[in-house]
Amino acid sequence: MKKDFIHIILADDDEDDRMFFTDAFDELKIGTKVKTFNDGIYLMDYLNSNNCELPHVLFLDLNMPRKSGLECLYEIKANPKFNDIAIAIYSTSASEEDIEKTFVQGANIYIKKPSSFKVLKKVLSEVVTTNWQYHTNGLNKDNFLLRL
């Protein structure tokens, strides 16, 4: 059974967003295991620890104290150990600059946090059920930002 779980990690400093995130997955009823971290430092500490279970999909908020999502992205992409992790940027803003930077750094998808719980659930299920191995091949800047 354990094998079939999709491992998901979210790094976000906002408590409400973490709650929406876990609530959405609870209601989605997909076999997922969700872990959340309060900022980039906690996240990286966990990923670099020995007993860590590497996630299938990592959701990164960009604007976090101490270590931002972008810094985490640099570190993860610099380490071959994390090659198989699909990275979804999960941010309030969708400025051209942020999209450009994260795309160049090798993130898989950019999600603008939706303002409706219903939409949030739809977005998350879409992202989690995507076969990222396959999706990465056709990745380009136009479909990088998730539109639903």
Partner 1 sequence: MPYRLHKKLWFVKTVVYVCAFVILLVGGMTYKNIQSLSQASNLVTHTYKINVELEQVLSYLKDAETAQRGSIITNDPLYLEPYYSGRDSINNSFAELRELLKNNPTQLNNLKELNKLIDVRIACFQKSFRFSAVSDLGNPVFKENFWAGKQAMDAVRDKVKHMIALENKLLEEQQSELKENLKVTPIFLYMVLLMCLLLMYGAYAKIISNLKKLKKSNIELEMFKESANLSEIVSNYGNWVWNIDENTYIYSDNLYRLLGEEPNAFHPSIENLLKFVHPKDIKKLNKDIKKMMENENLPYTYFRIVQKNGKIRHLKSFAKKVINTDGKKQLIGTTSDVTEEVKSFRLLEEHNLTLERNNKELSAFNYVASHDLQEPLRKIQTFLSRLEEKEAENLSEPGLKYVDRIKTSATRMRLLIDDLLQFSRTNKADKVFEKSNLNLLLEGAKQDLAEAISNEKAIINANEFPIVKVIPFQIQQLFANLIGNSIKYRSLERTPEITITYSKVKASEESNIKKGKKDNYHKITFIDNGIGFDNAYAKKIFVLFNRLHNKDEYSGTGIGLSICKKIIENHKGFIIAKGKPGIGAKFTIYLPAKL
CA–CA separation, 25 vs 17, rounded Å?
12
Minimum CB separation of residue 30 from partner 1 in Å reads 19
The residue (of 85 and 127) whose beta carbon lies closer to partner 1 is 127
Q: What's the per-residue H, E or C state across 36-102?
A: EECCHHHHHHHHHCCCCCCCCEEEECCCCCCCCHHHHHHHHHHCHHHCCCEEEEEECCCCHHHHHHH
Confirm or reject binding of residue 4 to partner 1 (CB under 8 A). Answer: no
Strands (E), 95-140: 109-112
Give whichever of 20 and 110 is closer to partner 1, judged by the CB atom.
Answer: 20
If one asks whether residue 143 binds partner 1 (CB under 8 A), the answer comes out as: no
14 touches partner 1 (CB under 8 A): yes
Position 74 contacts partner 1 (CB under 8 A): no
For partner 1, the binding residues (CB under 8 A) are: 14, 16-17, 20, 23, 63, 92-93, 95, 113-118, 120
